[in-house]
Amino acid sequence: MKKLLVLLVGLCFVFCAGNALNAANKDTKTKGKKVKVADKVKKESAKTKSEKKAKMEKKSGKLSKKATSKLKSGEKINVNTASVDELSKLPGVGEATAKKIVEYRKKNGKFKNINDLLKVKGLGEKKVEKLKGHVTY
């Protein structure tokens, strides 16, 4: 009797474990193709990430087309006269940093050299290094 009970408990354990594994690897049909549940979840999360990114880009679309375009080869921008849109063309400079440059310029006067840009909050050595060759004074 004990042997029969042990055998039944063992079979029940194996059966339950097998069903749990099958449920984890369960295939679902999507447009005639078999796709694992994990793959489906990955695709859905990637889709939501791209949707979120599109929404963020749409919200930040406050700048004109000029501001979002890149600086042309050899083009330089005068940091003492440029608008926020123009400054936003510079590498590593977005709308927020461009506004800070304009505010600093209004408050403290013209920039005399590249090192003066280090005084603007949000512009560190790495960003200012990227600006060399793209700005005039």
Based on the fold, state whether residues 106 and 75 are members of the same structural domain: yes
Residue 37's domain comprises 26-59
Structure tokens at 40: 């489906």
End-to-end CA distance of the chain: 96
pLDDT above 80 for 110: yes
Between 121 and 21, the more confident residue is 121
The pLDDT confidence band at residue 114, using thresholds 50, 70 and 90, is very high
Residue 111 lies in a domain: yes
CATH label of the domain that carries residue 127: 1.10.150.320
The predicted-structure confidence for 42-76, as pLDDT tens digits, reads as follows 555 555 665 665 556 555 544 444 444 677 888 99
Q: Which residues of 33-58 are buried (b: 16+ CB within 10 A; e: fewer)?
A: eeeeeeeeeeeeeeeeeeeeeeeeee
The neighbour count for residue 29, using CB atoms within 10 Å, is 8
